[in-house]
Amino acid sequence: MLSLLRQPYPLAEQSLSRALWQSFLFGGLIAFVLLVFQPFGAYNWEHPRKPWLLSGYGLAAAVAVFIGFYGLPKTLPAVFEERSWTVGRELAWSLAQLVLGGVLSNVYGYLIGTMPLSLAQTGYMIAVAFLVGLFPSVVQVLINYLYLLRRHRPIGLLPPPPETQAPSSEAETLTLVAENGKDAIVLPAADLLFIEADDNYCTVFHRSEGKVTKTLLRSPLGRLENQVSLPYVLRCHRSYLVNIRSVQSVTGNAQGYRLRFASVGEPVPVARSYANRIREQLQAR
């Protein structure tokens, strides 16, 4: 069980539109359950504006989800890093949102005059949130983990490109020019491994005299990508451009694929939005 909690897990996309959509969807579901089934004594509660007041608890739940999915990751980016995100962290994050939902529900109930604002009442509301959301949260994380693990099964060692392709790729030359128009690197296309971006700088990993060499250019990755017209040099991540023919092996986990190159220690990640295209190109090479 402990080993499962340490397994890599993808961090949810932190876009504003996605966070708003998930927040309103979850809040709407909570409001629907409260209005239709009226659990936890709501059925016996009488108030002329009862439907509106019950719907407000859905709004409190939506705010909790928005803070969890968008507010905290944007405020604490060092904590929410995908490279260190695991199944255990995802579960803890989901449960923390239930705690926050319970607290906000107590605050909302106090503001509309239906419950006291006390430690005991807050504990009760957190318990209600756990009763409603604990099982679905855990099951959703585990099912998603198993699905992603199956989807990103390791491909393993890859065969070298067919010999019929070797002469053409050896003859092709890449010229990558920096933003100032002066600094440039010229190399055979077959020697390119990948290009890694870091802000306005890019590091070109390539072979030179039998060794892996790194050359730094001041340029956004998109600008260098526009200088490459080879079909086997592809974007695999917002920060990486890779030569598919230079990939030695492919590993994978729930976070996605990892491309490995000979004599390079760290693998290159493949973003989930590029996974299908990269897999197809690797299988077709």
pLDDT in tens, 7-37: 999 988 778 998 999 999 999 999 999 999 9
pLDDT at 164: 45
Instruction: Report the pLDDT averaged over residues 143-156.
Output: 88
Split at pLDDT 50, 70, 90, the class of 165 is very low
CA distance 59 to 27: 6
Q: Would you say 248 and 216 are in contact if contact means Cβ atoms under 8 Å apart?
A: no
How many residues are recorded in the chain?
285
Split at pLDDT 50, 70, 90, the class of 56 is very high
> Which CATH number describes the domain made up of 156-284?
2.40.50.1020
Split at pLDDT 50, 70, 90, the class of 139 is very high
Q: Would you say 193 and 212 are in contact if contact means Cβ atoms under 8 Å apart?
A: yes
Split at pLDDT 50, 70, 90, the class of 210 is confident
Q: What is the pTM of this model?
A: 0.76
CA distance 214 to 195: 9
Residue 192 has pLDDT above 60, yes or no: yes
Instruction: Report the pLDDT averaged over residues 109-116.
Output: 94
- Cα Rg for the chain, rounded, in angstroms? 25
Compute how many other C-beta atoms are within 10 angstroms of the C-beta atom of residue 211. 8
pLDDT over 70, % of the chain: 96
Instruction: Report the pLDDT averaged over residues 203-207.
Output: 97
| Residue 260: partners with Cβ closer than 8 Å, 6 or more residues away | 247, 248, 249, 250, 251, 267, 268
- Strands 173-177, 156-157: parallel, antiparallel or unpaired by DSSP? unpaired
> Taking the domains of the chain in order of start, what are their residue ranges?
2-151, 156-284
